[in-house]
Structure 1
Amino acid sequence: MHVPDGFLDAPTSIATGVVAVAAVGVSLRKARAELDDRTAPLAGLVAAFVFATQMLNFPVAGGTSGHLMGGAIAAVLVGPWTGVLATSVVFIVQALLFADGGITALGTNIVLMGVTTVAVGWGVFRALQAVLPKTTAMVPVAAGLGAFVSVPVASLVFVSLYAVGGTADVPLGTLTGAMVGVHVLIGIGEGVITFLAVGSVIAVRPDLVHGARPVLAARELEVRTAGAGA
C-alpha cells in the first residue's frame, strides 16, 4: 500500500498532503482528551508495535505480500485521534529513514494507511459495539472485524486518488480488481493480528484499552446499581 513518488501527479499529492497535515493538526488537539498518565506510554508502544510489524511481510497471492497497516489496532488501543498520530509517526520515519514510500507521497500514505484505516476501523468497531454483547471478550472481535474492513476500503480510496491523478498507464478496472482482491486477503491478516494483539492487552490490562472504556463503564455502573439496591 505504500505509494511511491511519482505514482500520483503533483496536484493530487499536494491535496493529500494538505489533508494529512490537517488531520494530524486536529489529532494533536483532540488526543489530549484520550490520554492520561496511565495510557500515554501505551501510545508509544503502539507506534513501536505498528512500526515493527510493518517490517514483516506475509505472502498473499500471485507473488505479492502484505503487512499490517495498524490504523484499527491503534484506534482501539489508544483512541482514534491518538491512533492517527501514532501511525503518522511510523510513516514519517519509514519514508525519511527507510525510503518506504516516497517523500512527495508521504501525505498520501498517511491519508491511506493512517487516517482512512483509523476512521474506518474505529467506525466499524463502534458500530459493532452497539450491537454485540457488552463484554470485554467482544472488544477484540469488533476490533478484528474493523481492521479487516479498513484495509480494502483504504485500497478503494487509493483507486479513487489514482482515478483523479494517476500517472501510471494502468487501466482503472484492472487496478481496482487487483487492489481490492489483494487487500481483502491482506485485511484477513490485519484482522487476525488486531484480534490477537487487542485480546492480549484486554486479558491483562483492559483498563488501558480505549475501546474497552464503554464496556468497563457499563460494568461499573451495573455493580454500583446492584450495590445500591442491596
Structure 2
Amino acid sequence: MSIAAGAVAVAGVGIALRGARRELDDRTAPLAGLTAAFVFAAQMLNFPVAAGTSGHLLGGALAAILVGPYTGVLAVSVVLFLQALLFADGGLSALGVNIILMALVTVTVGYAVFRLLLRVLPKTRASAGGASFAAALVSVPASALAFTLIYAVGGTADVSIGKVAAAMLGVHVLIGIGEALITAVTVSSVLAVRPDLVHGACGLMKPVELRTARPTPSRA
C-alpha cells in the first residue's frame, strides 16, 4: 500500500509541477514560499480536540486559495517531505499516503468548494472569507474519508471499517473547525491588504488604491 500510494503521490506532484508554471511568477513565487513556511510552522502546533486526541492544521485549502491548487500541492508536499526527513514526523514510508491525504485531497476538495461558493455568493471580502471557512471545513473530513478508504485496502488491524470511519470523521470534523477558523482569518487578512495576492479570489476585488488629493492652487 505504501508503494502504491507513493506512486500516486509522485504522479500527483508531477502534475502539480507542470501546472504550477502557470501560477507562479516573480510576484507570486515569494508568497508560495511564505505559505509553505506558514503551513510548516502551523502543522508543528497541536491543539486538543477530544480526550486523548489532538489535531493540527493540514493547510491544503489555505495553500490552494492563496497560491493556486497546483502550487498548493507543491507547498504542502514540501512541508510533509521536510517533516518526514528532518523530524521523522509521519516517516518516509508513509510519505506517499500523507501527500495523498494532506496535499492532493485537501487541496482539490478545498479549492473546488471555495471556487464553487464564490460563483453563487456576492463578490465581497466577507463572502470570500466565508467560502474559505467552508472550504477548509469540508477538506479535513474529506481527507479522513480518504484515509478510511486506504485503510480498507491496506489496513491490517482488527478494527471494522465502520468504526474507523466513525472515529476518523467524528474527530476530523472537530479538527476541521479549527482549520476553518485559521484559514478564514488568514485569507481575510490577506484580502484586506493585498487582495491581488489571493489566487482563489483573482478578479473578485480590485487591489487597494492609494489616492492623493490635488493641491489647491494658492491665490497671489
TM-score by length of 2: 0.91
Partner residue of 1:125 out of 114, 119, 125: 114
> Is residue 80 of structure 2 the alignment partner of residue 86 of structure 1?
no
| Structure holding more helix per residue | 1
Counterpart CA distance in 2 for 1:39 and 1:157 is 30
Counterpart CA distance in 2 for 1:148 and 1:198 is 14
Deviation at 1:208, TM superposition (A): 0.7
Counterpart CA distance in 1 for 2:143 and 2:28 is 28
Counterpart CA distance in 2 for 1:21 and 1:177 is 30
Report how many residues are paired: 207
Deviation string 1:178-204 (CA, Å, 9 cap, x unpaired) is: 100000000000000000011111111
Contact 1:116 1:154 in 2 (8 A): yes
- Bigger radius of gyration: 2
Partner residue of 2:149 out of 144, 160, 180: 160
Aligned-partner residue type, residue 163 of structure 1: A
Deviation at 1:70, TM superposition (A): 0.2
Aligned-partner residue type, residue 49 of structure 1: F
SS class of match (1:59): strand
- Give the equivalent residue in structure 2 for 1:30: 19
Deviation string 1:90-140 (CA, Å, 9 cap, x unpaired) is: 000000111110211100000000100000000100110111101233212
- Give the equivalent residue in structure 2 for 1:63: 52
Instruction: Show structure 2 runs of 5+ residues with no match.
Output: 208-220
Aligned-partner residue type, residue 5 of structure 2: T
- Give the equivalent residue in structure 1 for 2:193: 204
Counterpart CA distance in 2 for 1:215 and 1:100 is 38
Partner residue of 1:49 out of 35, 38, 41: 38
Deviation string 1:140-178 (CA, Å, 9 cap, x unpaired) is: 211111000000011010000000111222221111111
Partner residue of 1:214 out of 178, 203, 207: 203
Contact 1:129 1:142 in 2 (8 A): yes
SS class of match (2:176): helix
Deviation string 1:8-55 (CA, Å, 9 cap, x unpaired) is: xxxx21111111101111111110111111111000000000000001
Deviation string 1:39-86 (CA, Å, 9 cap, x unpaired) is: 110000000000000011000012200000000000000000000000
SS class of match (1:65): strand
Counterpart CA distance in 2 for 1:178 and 1:62 is 13
4+ residue runs of structure 1 moved beyond 6 angstroms?
A: none
User: Taking every aligned residue pair, what percent have the same amino acid on both sides?
Assistant: 67
- Give the equivalent residue in structure 2 for 1:144: 133
Aligned-partner residue type, residue 203 of structure 1: A
Contact 1:136 1:212 in 2 (8 A): no
SS class of match (1:214): coil
Instruction: Show structure 1 runs of 5+ residues with no match.
Output: 1-11, 221-230
Contact 1:71 1:83 in 2 (8 A): yes
Deviation at 1:207, TM superposition (A): 0.7
- Give the equivalent residue in structure 2 for 1:191: 180
Contact 1:73 1:147 in 2 (8 A): yes
TM-score by length of 1: 0.88
Deviation at 1:87, TM superposition (A): 0.1
SS class of match (2:21): helix
